[in-house]
Structure 1
Amino acid sequence: MSTRTYQHPARRGRAATVAATSGALVMAATVLPAAVLTVPDTTANVAPAAAEALRLGTGDVAGLLRATGLSLPALLLAVPLAAVAARRFSACSVAAAGLLLLLAGIGAARFAGSVPQAGFVRAAEGAGAGIVLPASLVLIWERRSRALAALWAGGLVCALLAAMPVALRLVPMSRGDAARGPDWHRALAPTPWPAIAAVAAVALFLFLRGRGPWRLPAPRHIERGQLVLPLVPSAGFAFLAVVAADGWSPGARLAVGALALPALLALALACGGDASVGGPHGCAVVMIATGLLTYPVAAPLAGLAAVGAHARGGTGVPLTPFALAGAAAIAGALASLRARPKAGVLAGYGLMLAALPFGLATGRTFGLADGLAGGTAGQASLCALLVPLGAGAGLALAASLRDASAGAALFGLALLFPAVLAGQLVVLSLQASWLVRARPVTQAQQLDALAGGYHAWLAAAAGALVPLAAATVRAGALAGARSRARAAARAARAGARATGRAAAAIDPAPGAAAGEAEAAAGPGAG
């Protein structure tokens, strides 16, 4: 006699759903940090060791830094193509391909023995991350769960805020002695464990998901075309960004980054009203705002903290404020489930807008440049900026993705990382301008100049956030108007068909009526 206990089909279905949801949550929690951790470039911290190992001259170190900075351009170029592939083919296969490429780049990092090889390794890592990110989004959207989509949005914001401080902790600044510093290959791949955990999580997700019909409806031809649309401007912008790093003045680099933002915004507004890639709450514009105000705000701040800690002989970047900001991002994303989407988006913008000037004022009051080494004043200034910024970005992004299709979310993701690169160009150009103008002699003066450039970036970011919020409202209104127009057109067509069928049932066609009369008269009539 069988000892297996009977389980009701509904209970088995609930258990399978819970298992698949848990697997998707673990997958998102590991894939997002593994992918975003490829963006930070910490080669400058080990430049003396790298120059000695590669036998580089003083002028050749800049070429090494350009090569190791290729991960972000490669990532933003891979996202649109991977988005189309994830919608056209199995998202699990696309995610597996991206993770394998990411692991291959991480594994090859320790064997890089020249500047071109280092650039190739970093580009492979960025391309792998750019492939796996859209695939993870599609896998989450296949679950058709608002809570999972909100957690994915909060996890992305958390990863963008915490990537640079974690990388700086893993690859600290050297003391000028190449022999005692960390191996310079660690800057190419700080740690392989997030990518390994992501591979295990994807395999677990495949096991827990089962064989249910999880695939999304096949994309239309117009959706595939518009998902690829950001590729051309992104490629041109990435090329300009790489070229601008080769001896261009800070003002020229600043112009490249500043002009990229209106182009991205115009592209988001031009396609935002389409049903296939336009979200009902302006998610494409919110993605641009998220990319502009997360990593480009947190990464230079972590760099300032690292310079301050290095000047005072500290242990490194304080991780507590960035961890609190990541937790606030996830909490804000979950809070979006309790609010109306439009109200959540506007509240998120309000928090981000309040964070920038408040963090600027707090930093100047407490002495941002003097307290970044980890003291109480520095920790307070970091939290005053990062925590409301993370909460606002998580809330706005998760609320904007409410009721959005997979195509709309993928289109917005294709615009997020170009906005990250634009923000990085702007903030680094401003800091370079302040350094050129101040001509610092001591390390304290250098830190003051970098902090001054960062303060200017916070002011510029606050100014850019206002038109982005207005554009989000405009995109949502445009999408709503087009949705109502399409619904009215469908209702009109349905009403016309119903009226035609009713008229045909009441009054047959004249030709049919004449034929029936002739048949009734008989063959001898007339």
Structure 2
Amino acid sequence: MAVPPIQARTAVAVRGVRVPLLLDIVVGLLVAVALPLAIVAIPNTISVVAALLPPDASQVAMMRAHGLALPVMLLAVPLAAVAVRRFRAAPVLVAGLTLLAAADAAGGYAGSPVMVGVLRVLHGIGAGLLLPATLVAAWERPRRRFLLPLWAGMLAASLAGAQALALWPLARATSWQVTLQPYPLLTGVALALAAVYLVLWIVTSGGGVHVHGGVDSVAGVAGVAGVAGDPRDAGDVERPSAAERGRLTLAAVPAAGIAVLAVGTTFDWPPVLVIAAAAVAVVAMLGLGAVAAFDGPGGRALAFTNVAVGLVVLPTAAQTTYVEMGGVRGGPGLSGLWLPFTVAAAIAVVAACVVGAAGEQKAGKLVGAGLVAVVAGLCAIRLIAPTPDGPLLVVPFALLAGGSAVALVAALRPVRIGTALLGLSLCFPAVLAGFLLGTGIQLTHLREIAQSGDPTKPELVAQAFVDALWMWALVGGFAVVGIIVVASWLGRREPGSSRREAQVLIPSPTLSPEEAGTESGETPSDR
């Protein structure tokens, strides 16, 4: 019987234009929905509904259990970064959102500090999975020049608005368990989007990457997506090296130490020790960013940018939100904060996209400009807050969110994905350090009031929170300025950071061009 010849199988792009475009749209939606869900897991809001807690429940134990999400998250991010480079973004996204959805569903049944602690640990792990997974999902798409700025803008906007987003569902709460499930519907929508992304990713053989003989064809992706075959637009799809995995795993070590310090400070540490622990955490993150062996240029600048943004944006926005809630010196209340946060989020996304569209040389100069805008936002907090005029708060929040978005996008432009993940792993230990610094400053002011015995204590307590916010804005501003200076100094000392002069071979008048090339060490085959 005649056997028909076996035809060689070739990679064929099915619906080569529509599927990649649909994948890009789904990734963009996931970034817009999943990043705020991850960041909103950070704030500890159990004290706001303390009156709704069961009479036999310990408020201190509940607050300690509720605060476990951030320490767990900063430990989960570097480990999740290793996982997402091993298994790619789609499965990790589904896993992270599944954990968040499960924790939300079980939140209504929590009744003890132990159960609260377990659910908040799940929140922290789920959020820690989402952060690197969304970054890699945006990075590996052909249209990453749009998706990466969207990711950075949404991260900056989420950091600025996380405290308000966590508090808004509590405004009319009748059960304290709402703190464990603030946005269950949005979590379900995000999980559905992640499932769609996973299916499309499987259908298109790993998100649109065609494999020929086991080698990822970057140019093929770009051609299918209609990006004119530019490998930079096609995304960085190379497999992680052992050195990259080692660096990411190493980042988990100081993160674990900082997490242990943060949990320890909840056991009545003196304010001085809390501040000292925060200072140690900041120095550790900056030290790791300074000595880490990054893969390619720009790693140190990105590391320092992540530390600066994490240190001040969310802790500052959280303190300002509390002061302006209405209970402290007549702020506009949560309803009056809608406009400032919405405008700040829009400015952050737009500014990030503008920087993403700029040339790489121009974008590289905007890292410092973005951090300077963050410092200006801290100065505006010192000058404006507290204020009963809600729209006036657009100024500090827009500077904080927009400046951090610009700095993050500009710092991300020249780096590779492994370096970007390592920089992200430094951001959230810095967030925790910022909260510790802010808490230490608040405790210092509140203990002075508690020991005064003044009959006007409620008014003094309110003023103490305002004074603590002003002091924190001052400390945070000087910290960011110091980071800018140190990053600039180390950047100049970095090998290869200075502009290299072009080497031009000038043939000798007595030699032919071929002889001149041979004399300089260049052979005809080299040319």
TM-score (normalizing by structure 1): 0.81
Aligned to 1:73: 71
Q: In the alignment, residue 213 of structure 1 is paired with which amino acid?
A: V
Aligned to 1:204: 196
Question: How far, CA to CA, are the matches of 1:476 and 1:467 in structure 2?
Answer: 14
Aligned counterpart in structure 2 of residue 351 of structure 1, from 360, 364, 373: 373
Task: Map 1:495-506 onto structure 2 (within 5 A).
Answer: none
CA contact (8 A) 1:223 1:407 kept: yes
Q: In the alignment, residue 71 of structure 1 is paired with which amino acid?
A: A
Q: 1:85 to 1:452 in 2, by over 3 A?
A: same
Q: 1:502 deviation in Å?
A: 7.8
Question: How far, CA to CA, are the matches of 2:369 and 2:523 in structure 1?
Answer: 50
Aligned to 2:355: 336
Question: How far, CA to CA, are the matches of 2:102 and 2:331 in structure 1?
Answer: 38
Question: How far, CA to CA, are the matches of 2:148 and 2:497 in structure 1?
Answer: 25
State the SS of the aligned residue for 2:325. helix
Q: Deviations over 1:265-304 (max 9, x none)?
A: 0100111x5226x635711111111111211111111111
Aligned counterpart in structure 2 of residue 326 of structure 1, from 331, 345, 366: 345
Which deviates further from its counterpart, 195-204 or 12-21?
Answer: 12-21
Aligned to 2:286: 265
Aligned to 2:510: none
Aligned to 2:33: 30
Q: 1:478 to 1:326 in 2, by over 3 A?
A: farther
Q: 1:483 to 1:110 in 2, by over 3 A?
A: farther
Which deviates further from its counterpart, 318-327 or 241-250?
Answer: 318-327
Aligned to 2:472: 457
Question: How far, CA to CA, are the matches of 1:43 and 1:223 in structure 2?
Answer: 38
Aligned to 1:468: 483
Q: In the alignment, residue 301 of structure 1 is paired with which amino acid?
A: T
Q: In the alignment, does 2:461 pair up with 1:446? A: yes
CA contact (8 A) 2:329 2:462 kept: no
CA contact (8 A) 1:161 1:322 kept: yes
Q: 1:395 to 1:502 in 2, by over 3 A?
A: closer
Q: 1:205 deviation in Å?
A: 2.5
CA contact (8 A) 1:23 1:208 kept: no
Aligned CA RMSD, in angstroms, stands at 2.9
Aligned to 1:160: 159
CA contact (8 A) 1:168 1:306 kept: no
Question: How far, CA to CA, are the matches of 1:471 and 1:36 in structure 2?
Answer: 28
Q: In the alignment, residue 478 of structure 2 is paired with which amino acid?
A: G
Identity score, percent? 33
Task: Give the structure with higher Rg (CA).
Answer: 1
Q: In the alignment, residue 165 of structure 2 is paired with which amino acid?
A: V
Which deviates further from its counterpart, 415-424 or 247-256?
Answer: 247-256
CA contact (8 A) 1:281 1:401 kept: no
CA contact (8 A) 1:322 1:386 kept: yes
Aligned to 2:9: none
CA contact (8 A) 2:348 2:405 kept: yes
Q: 1:189 deviation in Å?
A: 2.1
Q: 1:341 to 1:114 in 2, by over 3 A?
A: same
Question: How far, CA to CA, are the matches of 1:150 and 1:281 in structure 2?
Answer: 20
Q: 1:12 deviation in Å?
A: 5.2
Aligned to 1:431: 442
Q: 1:478 to 1:413 in 2, by over 3 A?
A: farther
Question: How far, CA to CA, are the matches of 1:310 and 1:461 in structure 2?
Answer: 23
TM-score (normalizing by structure 2): 0.81
Question: How far, CA to CA, are the matches of 1:75 and 1:16 in structure 2?
Answer: 33
Q: In the alignment, residue 346 of structure 1 is paired with which amino acid?
A: G
Q: In the alignment, residue 429 of structure 2 is paired with which amino acid?
A: P
Q: 1:317 deviation in Å?
A: 5.8
Q: In the alignment, does 2:249 pair up with 1:251? A: no
Q: In the alignment, residue 274 of structure 1 is paired with which amino acid?
A: F
Task: Map 1:8-407 onto structure 2 (within 5 A).
Answer: 13-52=16-55, 55-56=56-57, 60-144=58-142, 145-172=144-171, 182-209=174-201, 210-211=204-205, 212-213=208-209, 216-271=237-292, 273-275=293-295, 279=298, 282-308=301-327, 318-337=337-356, 338=358, 340-363=362-385, 368=386, 371=387, 375-376=388-389, 378-380=390-392, 382-407=393-418
Q: Deviations over 1:214-265 (max 9, x none)?
A: 7721111000000111111111111111011111112211111122111110
CA contact (8 A) 1:336 1:395 kept: yes
Question: How far, CA to CA, are the matches of 2:482 and 2:330 in structure 1?
Answer: 39
State the SS of the aligned residue for 2:244. helix
CA contact (8 A) 2:96 2:126 kept: yes
Q: Deviations over 1:306-343 (max 9, x none)?
A: 25379789665622112222112112211212251221
Question: How far, CA to CA, are the matches of 1:244 and 1:469 in structure 2?
Answer: 29
CA contact (8 A) 1:166 1:319 kept: no
For structure 2, the residue ranges without an aligned partner over 5 or more in a row are 1-11, 211-215, 217-236, 504-516
Q: 1:333 to 1:480 in 2, by over 3 A?
A: farther
CA contact (8 A) 2:379 2:473 kept: yes
Question: How far, CA to CA, are the matches of 2:25 and 2:490 in structure 1?
Answer: 34
Question: How far, CA to CA, are the matches of 1:208 and 1:85 in structure 2?
Answer: 20
Structure 1 or 2: larger helix share?
1
Q: 1:195 deviation in Å?
A: 1.7
Q: 1:362 to 1:256 in 2, by over 3 A?
A: same
Q: In the alignment, residue 52 of structure 2 is paired with which amino acid?
A: A
Q: Deviations over 1:444-476 (max 9, x none)?
A: 332211010010000001100112112333454
Q: 1:193 deviation in Å?
A: 2.1
Q: In the alignment, residue 19 of structure 2 is paired with which amino acid?
A: A
CA contact (8 A) 1:168 1:316 kept: no
For structure 1, the residue ranges without an aligned partner over 5 or more in a row are 1-8, 175-180, 489-494, 504-526
Which deviates further from its counterpart, 186-195 or 29-38?
Answer: 186-195
Q: In the alignment, residue 323 of structure 1 is paired with which amino acid?
A: T
Aligned to 2:229: none
Q: 1:40 deviation in Å?
A: 1.3
Q: In the alignment, residue 472 of structure 2 is paired with which amino acid?
A: W
Q: In the alignment, residue 416 of structure 2 is paired with which amino acid?
A: S
Question: How far, CA to CA, are the matches of 1:313 and 1:306 in structure 2?
Answer: 6
Question: How far, CA to CA, are the matches of 2:160 and 2:175 in structure 1?
Answer: 26
Q: 1:15 to 1:468 in 2, by over 3 A?
A: same
Q: Deviations over 1:55-75 (max 9, x none)?
A: 13xxx3212111110000011
CA contact (8 A) 2:30 2:190 kept: yes
Q: 1:194 deviation in Å?
A: 2.5
